[in-house]
């Protein structure tokens, strides 16, 4: 799939990159490439070594019969892995429970460009504390990424919530929209009702590496050493950004391949 890059003169060229049809392209591509080997929409509910001996795992899911696996990689947020591992090894669950995540809501709004005085030029803005705005920032998607909105339309995405304002991401939809529209009226001068509005909530959106995170990682490493074939990856551990998650996953995949019986 083709990548789309920011083109606007005010955009931080080369920094914001996505796929033409959005990040979902990456996941769809993986599912396509792994057709037959990957099963989606299964919720992990439990994990136990087969016959109590590490090295072969029984993976319980809500929807189907259990799977048996040589290796298991838990790639869900730490708060979701903690209850799954609590029965297996409380010493693994404890540090996982201490890795919090901040909830975030993304509010996407769309207008006719003519109705708001033309498409904004640039990538958007971050809203520092003290500016009197509750949103964390706003990305001017249709100006950053070609094809994100039909010709003549403007799409922006505002982020709200985060570690310092967790309640904002949980506001009822009408309140959330009113807050974001009020902030954009102040910051961008847009008072016109949007043609479309969407709210996407990410309850465990961004893992927080609070003081003691490296100690917790070391504790997890020691704990995992007792359970061959069990791995943890994803944004809760060694990097929140997508690139960091992909790099970490690649390294773990390499380790698993090296350990699997030939």
Ligand X SMILES: Cc1cc2nc3c(=O)[nH]c(=O)nc-3n(C[C@H](O)[C@H](O)[C@H](O)COP(=O)(O)OP(=O)(O)OC[C@H]3O[C@@H](n4cnc5c(N)ncnc54)[C@H](O)[C@@H]3O)c2cc1C
Residues interacting with ligand X, by CB under 6 A? 43-44, 75-76, 80, 104, 106, 159, 202, 205-206, 234-235, 240-243, 245
In the complex, what is the shortest distance from the CB of residue 243 to ligand X, in angstroms, rounded to a whole number?
A: 6
Instruction: Sort 160 into a burial class: Cβ within 10 Å, 0-12 / 13-18 / 19+.
Output: buried
Q: With b meaning 16 or more CB within 10 Å and e meaning fewer, what string describes 124-155? A: bbebeeeeebbbbbbbbbbbbbeebbeeebbb
In the complex, what is the shortest distance from the CB of residue 257 to ligand X, in angstroms, rounded to a whole number?
A: 20
In the complex, what is the shortest distance from the CB of residue 108 to ligand X, in angstroms, rounded to a whole number?
A: 11
CB atoms within 10 A of CB 187: 18
How far is the C-alpha of 124 from the C-alpha of 11, rounded, in Å? 8
Question: For residue 78, what are its two tokens?
Answer: 């730490």
Q: What is the dihedral of CA 86, 90, 94, 99, to 10 degrees?
A: -40
The whole-angstrom distance between residue 227's C-alpha and the CA centroid of its chain comes to 27
Nearer CB in complex with ligand X: 44/187 = 44
In the complex, what is the shortest distance from the CB of residue 112 to ligand X, in angstroms, rounded to a whole number?
A: 26
Residue nearest to ligand X (CB): 234
Nearer CB in complex with ligand X: 133/144 = 144
Which residues does residue 74 pair with via DSSP β-bridges, in sequence order? 232
Nearer CB in complex with ligand X: 4/235 = 235
In the complex, what is the shortest distance from the CB of residue 76 to ligand X, in angstroms, rounded to a whole number?
A: 3
Nearer CB in complex with ligand X: 62/192 = 62
How far is the C-alpha of 142 from the C-alpha of 225, rounded, in Å? 47
Nearer CB in complex with ligand X: 77/116 = 77
Nearer CB in complex with ligand X: 80/115 = 80
> For residue 73, what are the contacts with CB-CB under 8 A and spacing of at least 6?
231, 232, 233, 249, 252, 253, 256
In the complex, what is the shortest distance from the CB of residue 17 to ligand X, in angstroms, rounded to a whole number?
A: 9
């Amino acid at each position: 799939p083709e990548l789309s890059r920011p083109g606007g003169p005010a955009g931080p060229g080369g920094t914001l990159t996505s796929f033409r049809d959005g990040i979902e392209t990456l996941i769809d591509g993986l599912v396509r490439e792994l057709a037959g080997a990957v099963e989606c929409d299964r919720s992990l509910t439990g994990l136990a070594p087969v016959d109590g001996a590490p090295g072969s795992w029984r993976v319980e899911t809500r929807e189907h019969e259990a799977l048996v696996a040589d290796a298991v990689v838990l790639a869900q947020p730490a708060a979701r892995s903690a209850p799954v591992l609590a029965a297996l090894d409380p010493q693994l669950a404890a540090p996982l429970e201490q890795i919090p995540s901040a909830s975030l809501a993304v509010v996407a709004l769309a207008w006719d460009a003519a109705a708001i005085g033309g498409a904004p030029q640039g990538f958007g803005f971050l809203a520092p504390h003290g500016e009197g705005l509750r949103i964390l920032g706003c990305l001017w998607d249709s100006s950053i990424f070609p094809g994100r909105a039909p010709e003549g339309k403007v799409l922006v995405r505002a982020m709200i919530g985060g570690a310092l304002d967790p309640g904002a991401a949980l506001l009822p939809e009408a309140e959330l929209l009113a807050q974001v529209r009020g902030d954009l009226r102040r910051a961008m001068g847009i008072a016109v009702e949007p043609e479309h509005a969407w709210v996407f909530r990410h309850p465990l959106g961004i893992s927080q590496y609070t003081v003691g995170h490296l100690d917790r990682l070391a504790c997890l490493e020691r704990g995992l050493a007792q359970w061959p074939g069990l791995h943890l990856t994803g944004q809760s551990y060694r990097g929140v950004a997508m690139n960091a998650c992909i790099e970490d996953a690649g390294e773990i995949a390499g380790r698993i391949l090296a350990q699997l019986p030939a």
